[in-house]
A and B are shown apart, each in its own frame.
Chain A
Amino acid sequence: MKKSVFLGVVAATTMVAGAASAQATLEAVKARGELICGSNTGLTGFGAPDASGNWTGFDVDLCRALAAAIFGDATKVRFVPTTGETRFTALQSGEVDVLIRNSTWTYSRDTELALDFVAVNYYDGQGFMVKSDLGVSSAKELDGATVCIQTGTTTELNLADFFKQNNISYQPVTVADDSEAQRQYLAGACDAYTTDASGLAASRATMPDAANHIILPEIISKEPLGPVVRHGDNNWGDIVRWTYYALLIAEEKGITKANVEEVATSTADEEVKRLLGLSGDMGVKIGLDNAAFKNAIAAVGNYGEVFAANIGEGTAINLARGLNALWTQGGLQYAPPLR
């Protein structure tokens, strides 16, 4: 009798605790006073600590924007490096609040892993990098090659499919993260390194002899990369999603880090007014301040600025906007109306 009562109490507590953790990420973040963002272990341009330990990058800036939206202070964020293997477990177990780490949105991750991909901040595809003196100009010429591949990623499965479809063989070398893959590739332990094309460009930028490496023209998969949250806390998902869209809308409306204050005082555009918290109580509806999106834009700039500062043409990584241009400029980046 006593035992069953005790068990019942235990069960009830754990269920309450479980339900609470699923519903109240925002409260937990606010109570903690900082956002914990799952980041890459180090991919230049997307998420990597610099020489003095400050995290910088395209994904990192989205974390900062989120921190600015929640706290009005972009520095209230802590970055937890995660590998391809550990990232989803870290998110599921609540070790991180949000995972912004070049993670591909797939069906099974969305359903079986019980995660929610709230947006796509970078449309990517898987490519191959080889040394230019290898004399290869197409991935289909890689028959019999040794290929370095990061484990725990979608690229592992795409690679197997690509070689099977083209009826050619390869020898996989499975590595844990980007830096190990680079070491093996540069040492010649593998002929080709495959990962998302953006990741290849970022890796190449850090190589001492970047000009001697080419990225092959084949893009063998669709890799929509985006921020991920746990299933079940829809309000938290909305916060992450709309903070990201706010940066997109800002680019669409020509609002930048520099002119956001000035636009706020002078604008007559109703959507811009709603975005900057001047009308409509948009922030309050998701549990934040009305100035949340304005703070986010003021902290990191709009989507175009974030892109240009971290990975765009002119940086070492030198990626064109391509698919990631705004829909008005022929790309896929499209924010629903803020209304």
Chain B
Amino acid sequence: MAVASDVPKESFRLSMLIYDTRYRSVTIQVFVLILFALFLAWLLNNTANNLATRGKEFNFGFLWQRAGYDIGQALIPYTNDSTHFRALLVGLINTLVVAIIGCVLATVIGVVVGVLRLSKNWLVAGLMTVYVEMFRNVPLLLWILLSYVILSETTPQPRDFRVTDEMAAAGEAPAASMILWDSVAVTNRGTNIPSPLFDRGLGSADLGFMSVNLTTLAYILVIAGSVWVNRRILASARAQQEATGDRPVTWWKSILVLFGPVIALSVALGLHLEIPELRGFNFQGGILVAHSFTALVIALALYTAAFIAEIVRAGILAISRGQSEAAFALGLRPGRTMNLIILPQALRVIIPPLISQYLNLTKNTSLGIAVSYLDLRGTLGGITLNQTGRELECMLLMMLIYLTISLIISALMNFYNSTVQIKAR
């Protein structure tokens, strides 16, 4: 059979760009793209012109100048002689520390609260509902300020810990005292906790661009090794159980392998605790955990946990009742049903919205500025920006860094998500 003749060739006319549905969508897209490009060009041009008018140039050279200011909480060596770039790193690490601790705490609290909210016990479920609604419906900034004010206004000043000679003679106790066997002092400035000290530390290795603390490295290696050996022991126990039906006793081996090497390393390095002590105006020695940090972590964790609790509850409710009824029919107790049947299935529903909560928490750390917590926003976007007057550079750099952190978090969580999804075989 002869193929129907081709559609008669129409010659292309300009009006077809609008009236012909074959071309119309392309026309519109190209048009919008041109408009968008023009808008971007205008934006860049406007910025460049305004910078030129103000006599400012765009360059990042200031990052290598002396910063000249001090930062209260610096987890890497930093003095006011360090560069602005170093200050940026200090701020970035402060941001990450709050974000990581906050995410872990929020997840733990959120999962517990989410599960308890479904409890059959009316009081427990009611209390959890109150918690969720309270934290979800009040702005985060207020929670941060509230926890900071509570921490700093209800705790004693460092000088209240002092025992003067007259007080000792009269046998009076100071107005405040340290807790946990005199090792931790909570003042209105922060919490002083003991810090680990090593008599025979391994020092640090200088790699040129950064220095690595060998003691920390040794601990990480030893712990990783112990965990690996323990897994081998458990795997061989499982193999024996599968083969013979008899599980060998492993608990004492696990304890030995997990704790033995760490304790041996600690003894070898001469680990002991440095207890904070009141000298002069403040407690010296140990580690000072400033209230700005504590308040920020607590508020972020509790606030985000309220959202995570709802996500967890939704995830659990998404699992059909048949699943738990089947588990009960098999004789599983409610706790085991939750751990073995419901939660693993619910994870598939929970993970994707959980990613956004982690991203939110990470970005919300920038609210630390309200309680003078010097995170990335406080150092690069605060003091560095102010002292150098490089608003545009600092803001762009800060946006870029937050974007990178967020993208890394999403990538990691998406990877985890793909591992818990149902595998199509």
Q: Which residues of A contact B (CB under 8 A)?
A: 3, 6-7, 10-11, 14-15, 18-19, 21-22, 84-85, 88-89, 92, 108-109, 112-114, 134, 142-146, 151-152, 156-157, 159-161, 163-164, 170-176, 184, 187-191, 230-232
Q: Is the CB of B388 within 8 A of A112?
A: yes
In the assembled complex, which residues on chain B have CB atoms less than 8 Å from the CB atom of A21? 53
Q: Is the CB of A7 within 8 A of B45?
A: yes
Q: How far is the CA of A21 from the CA of B49 in the complex (A)?
A: 13
B325 at the interface (CB under 8 A from A): no
What 16 additional pairs, Cβ within 8 angstroms, besides A151-B383, A172-B71, A189-B152? A7-B41, A7-B42, A15-B49, A18-B50, A18-B53, A108-B388, A112-B388, A114-B54, A157-B387, A160-B69, A160-B70, A164-B80, A184-B152, A188-B157, A191-B282, A232-B54
Q: Is the CB of B389 within 8 A of A88?
A: yes
B25 at the interface (CB under 8 A from A): no
In the assembled complex, which residues on chain A have CB atoms less than 8 Å from the CB atom of B81? 164
12 A-B contacts (beta carbon < 8 Å): A11-B45, A84-B386, A85-B386, A144-B280, A145-B281, A151-B383, A160-B80, A174-B374, A174-B383, A191-B282, A230-B54, A231-B54
B382 at the interface (CB under 8 A from A): yes
Number of A-B contacts (CB under 8 A): 121
Q: Is the CB of B45 within 8 A of A14?
A: yes
Most chain A CB within 10 A, of B49, B280, B383, B388, is at B49
Specify the chain A residue showing the minimal Cβ separation from B41: A7
In the assembled complex, which residues on chain B have CB atoms less than 8 Å from the CB atom of A160? 68-70, 80
Q: Is the CB of B280 within 8 A of A145?
A: yes
In the assembled complex, which residues on chain A have CB atoms less than 8 Å from the CB atom of B72? 171-174
Q: Which residues of B contact A (CB under 8 A)?
A: 34, 38, 41-42, 45-46, 49-50, 52-56, 68-72, 80-81, 152-153, 157, 188-189, 279-282, 284, 288, 369, 372, 374, 378, 382-383, 386-389, 391
* B228 to A: closest C-beta gap in Å: 41
In the assembled complex, which residues on chain B have CB atoms less than 8 Å from the CB atom of A156? 69, 383, 387
Residue in contact with B282 in the complex, picked from A3, A144, A161, CB distance below 8 Å: A144
Most chain B CB within 10 A, of A108, A142, A160, is at A160
In the assembled complex, which residues on chain A have CB atoms less than 8 Å from the CB atom of B49? 11, 14-15, 18
* A237 to B: closest C-beta gap in Å: 15
Q: Is the CB of A89 within 8 A of B391?
A: yes
Q: How far is the CA of A160 from the CA of B50 in the complex (A)?
A: 34
Q: Is the CB of B382 within 8 A of A85?
A: yes
Q: How far is the CA of A177 from the CA of B49 in the complex (A)?
A: 33
Q: How far is the CA of A108 from the CA of B311 in the complex (A)?
A: 51
In the assembled complex, which residues on chain B have CB atoms less than 8 Å from the CB atom of A112? 56, 388-389
Contacts A157-B69, A160-B70 given; indicate if A187 touches B188 (C-beta within 8 A): yes
Specify the chain A residue showing the minimal Cβ separation from B386: A152
Q: How far is the CA of A108 from the CA of B386 in the complex (A)?
A: 11
Q: How far is the CA of A43 from the CA of B45 in the complex (A)?
A: 40
In the assembled complex, which residues on chain A have CB atoms less than 8 Å from the CB atom of B50? 14, 18
Q: How far is the CA of A169 from the CA of B208 in the complex (A)?
A: 28
Q: How far is the CA of A173 from the CA of B391 in the complex (A)?
A: 23
Q: How far is the CA of A191 from the CA of B46 in the complex (A)?
A: 48
Specify the chain B residue showing the minimal Cβ separation from A154: B387
The 5 closest A-B pairs by CB, nearest first: A18-B53, A152-B386, A160-B80, A188-B157, A113-B389
